[in-house]
Amino acid sequence: MYLPATPAEFQANPITRAELAALQADPPQWLKDLRKNGPHPKNLVAAKLGVSIAGLARGGVTEALTTNEINQLLDDKPEWLVAERESYQSVLREERRLKALHDDRAREG
């Protein structure tokens, strides 16, 4: 959750684990709206766009984005987003390859 978008009273008061569990089990309307519409923190924006957080920065995205802004980027497919998605997928493929190689060596050794 993007903390600056939460109500001031939520930001100002620490919550217990029990209160957090209650919020997750039965979220108030402001939390439902925040989850649905944003603004979303960069890690969620990156995941929704299929890029890394560093890729967001390279693309000039430095602030939290709303769901509509994310959807607009997905619809418009700017060059930076296409390039960053391809780059991110390459990194993920390489990580999977290395993990498989490591797992194979562990089984052999």
- Can you spell out the DSSP letters for 37-82? H--B-HHHHHHHHTS-HHHHHHTT--S-B-HHHHHHHHHH--HHHH
The answer to whether residues 44 and 7 belong to one domain is no
Reported confidence tier of residue 99, pLDDT bands at 50, 70, 90: very high
Residues 76 and 101 in one domain: yes
Sign for the pseudo-dihedral over CA of 98, 102, 108, 109 = positive
Query: Are 30 and 45 part of one and the same domain?
Result: no
What's the pLDDT tens digit per position in 46-87?
999 999 999 999 999 999 999 999 999 999 999 999 999 999
Same domain for 33 and 49? no
Query: Are residue 52 and residue 73 in the same domain, yes or no?
Result: yes
In a shared domain, residues 51 and 96: yes
Contact criterion met (CB below 8 Å) for 30 and 11: no
CA–centroid distance for 101 within its chain = 28
The parent domain of residue 51 ranges over 40-109
Domain count, the chain: 2
For 79-97, write each residue's pLDDT tens digit.
999 999 999 999 999 999 9
**Same domain, yes or no: 25 and 48:** no
